[in-house]
Amino acid sequence: MIQINYFILILLLASVIILKKCSAIDVYIPNEKYDIANINDLIQHYSLLDKTIKIHITKNYIYSSDMIAQQIHIPENTNITLIGSSSLGTTFDFSNKRNNVNNFFLIFGDNEYFWQQFIIENITFKNFYTYSLQQSLFYISNYKINYKVIFKHCSFVNSDSLILIVDSQNSINKNQLDSHVLFDSCRFKKIKGNGVILLHGKKINNYGIKIIDSEFTSCNNIAKLYFGNIEFDYCKLTNISSSVNSAHFVEMLNDSSLMIKNTVIYNNNNNNNDSIELQKMIPFIRNNGNLMTFHNVTLRNIQNSLGYLINDIGQIRSNSSIYINNSYFESNYRVYNIINRNLY
Ligand SMILES: *[C@@H]1O[C@H](CO)[C@@H](O)[C@H](O)[C@H]1NC(C)=O
Ligand SMILES: *[C@@H]1O[C@H](CO)[C@@H](O)[C@H](O)[C@H]1NC(C)=O
Ligand SMILES: *[C@@H]1O[C@H](CO)[C@@H](O)[C@H](O)[C@H]1NC(C)=O
Ligand SMILES: *[C@@H]1O[C@H](CO)[C@@H](O)[C@H](O)[C@H]1NC(C)=O
Ligand SMILES: *[C@@H]1O[C@H](CO)[C@@H](O)[C@H](O)[C@H]1NC(C)=O
Ligand SMILES: *[C@@H]1O[C@H](CO)[C@@H](O)[C@H](O)[C@H]1NC(C)=O
Ligand SMILES: *[C@@H]1O[C@H](CO)[C@@H](O)[C@H](O)[C@H]1NC(C)=O
Ligand SMILES: *[C@@H]1O[C@H](CO)[C@@H](O)[C@H](O)[C@H]1NC(C)=O
């Protein structure tokens, strides 16, 4: 015991010295003690020393066999950044672990905290194949919601599974809209499973997902929301389609909302049979009477064989308006309408 206390004391002193310099602890991995496989031990250890931890990965490539940690526990009141290698970024390659459950569960500390952050920067995640419809690369299970998860300059390439599931355990009523998950300058390519983002579980109002400056290429069913507000700003989506009978772009059930701004969505695969996906009886957006806002949006060559883009059955509704402003919809060969709803 005495020995252990002494050890901690020394580290605390060391942290004071580090703090003076940069007000955060920078840890470089792999080092002689820590790597991705025991990242929870690292986080646990350094969170006793500082409330801001920056973990720099110095390797360019990490195979899934090097990752043991599946649940990343984020201690209360601690901000953590995981940063890919400063030269080329870091790639997490899951291809040698097919069929295994090998995703990242993010678990936030249970006690009260104030907007703690988990930031993932300059990391590519690729070849995440699980052959399971309910699997996702990141899984956030919440009891509380004062947190932000930020993906910055990240790429998600080749997957048959979702990228993010937010699974809410408690109904929460908030009056203010906040963004809890932010994808900033990210790339999504060939995410061809059951969707990219799924919010489900108990209802949280005003839970926000924001996607800015990002690109989606050849992805299926971008988002499915049982609650939450999703916003796309300055995004580009190309060749999106649907693997299941839901919606190519966004499906909103229950209480949710969609805002798209400064975004271009187009398909250029009309000349071959890839576009058969889009010809199916699947709408671009499926809605249940929730608020939708389009501002400076261009949709080009988005079509199906329904004759309309948005299927809005309009049942749930605190605010069932659709606002379309400054937007441009163009199709080479089909006429479409928006059904069931008033336009403002
Ligand atoms: C974590 O980061 C957020 C946003 O920058 C900040 O408001 C909060 O105070 C930070 N928390 C701690 C414990 O430093
Ligand atoms: C992440 O990558 C971007 C673009 O390559 C670079 O500008 C930025 O400095 C990198 N961030 C970090 C923390 O290394
Ligand atoms: C969503 O709506 C369905 C039926 O419309 C209902 O059974 C379900 O409980 C609702 N879920 C939430 C999270 O409110
Ligand atoms: C509209 O969106 C495009 C990107 O799709 C952007 O380049 C342009 O600046 C936006 N226009 C305005 C007025 O914000
Ligand atoms: C979209 O699909 C077409 C035809 O399959 C392909 O030629 C084009 O490169 C794709 N676009 C992107 C951005 O991947
Ligand atoms: C597309 O599919 C149709 C019917 O399945 C077929 O007749 C046609 O030859 C195909 N076109 C191409 C370019 O493969
Ligand atoms: C619906 O939402 C819009 C945009 O947030 C707001 O301007 C409008 O007042 C709302 N309408 C109702 C009936 O709440
Ligand atoms: C519609 O777009 C115009 C031009 O960008 C802007 O001035 C106006 O405020 C927008 N209206 C709404 C309701 O967003």
Strands 79-83 and 337-338: unpaired
Instruction: Output the CA 265–ligand 4 centroid distance in Å.
Output: 13
Q: Is the CB of 226 under 6 A from ligand 3?
A: yes
Query: What one-letter code names the amino acid at 337?
Result: N
Q: What CATH number is associated with residue 36?
A: 2.160.20
d(CA 100, CA 334): 43
| Residues at CB less than 6 angstroms from ligand 7 | 291, 319, 321
Q: Is the CB of 239 under 6 A from ligand 5?
A: yes
Q: Is the CB of 327 under 6 A from ligand 8?
A: no
* 20 found inside a domain: no
Residue 285: strand pairing partners: 250, 310
| Owning domain of residue 330 | 25-343
* 221 found inside a domain: yes
User: Are 250 and 258 within 8 A, CB to CB?
Assistant: yes
Number of domains in the chain: 1
With residue 8 as reference, give the H or E element that holds it: helix 2-22
* 53 found inside a domain: yes
Q: Residue holding tokens 């699947």?
A: 282
Q: Residue 105's pLDDT is what?
A: 66
d(CA 12, CA 10): 5
Closest C-alpha to 189, from 240, 145, 257, 264: 240
Strands 90-93 and 104-108: unpaired
With residue 291 as reference, give the H or E element that holds it: strand 291-300
Tens of each residue's pLDDT in the chain, 344 residues: 333 322 333 333 333 344 434 578 999 999 999 998 888 899 999 999 999 999 999 999 988 777 765 678 888 788 999 999 988 899 998 886 654 555 666 666 555 556 889 999 999 999 888 777 778 888 888 777 788 999 999 999 999 889 999 988 888 888 888 889 999 999 999 998 889 999 999 888 889 999 999 999 999 999 999 999 999 999 999 988 888 878 989 999 888 999 999 999 988 765 555 555 555 678 889 988 889 999 999 988 777 777 778 888 776 666 677 888 888 877 654 545 544 444 43
Q: What does residue 321 show for φ and ψ, rounded to 5 degrees?
A: -95, 155
Q: Is the CB of 179 under 6 A from ligand 4?
A: no
* 81 found inside a domain: yes
* 284 found inside a domain: yes
DSSP 3-state of 9? helix
* 333 found inside a domain: yes
* 95 found inside a domain: yes
DSSP string of 62-128? EEGGG----EEEE-TT-EEEEE--TTT-EEEE-GGGTTS---EEEEE-SS--SSEEEEEESEEEEEE
225: left (phi over 0), alpha (psi -120 to 50) or beta: beta
User: Are 224 and 199 within 8 A, CB to CB?
Assistant: yes
The protein residue with its alpha carbon nearest to ligand 4, atom 2, reads: 262
* 44 found inside a domain: yes
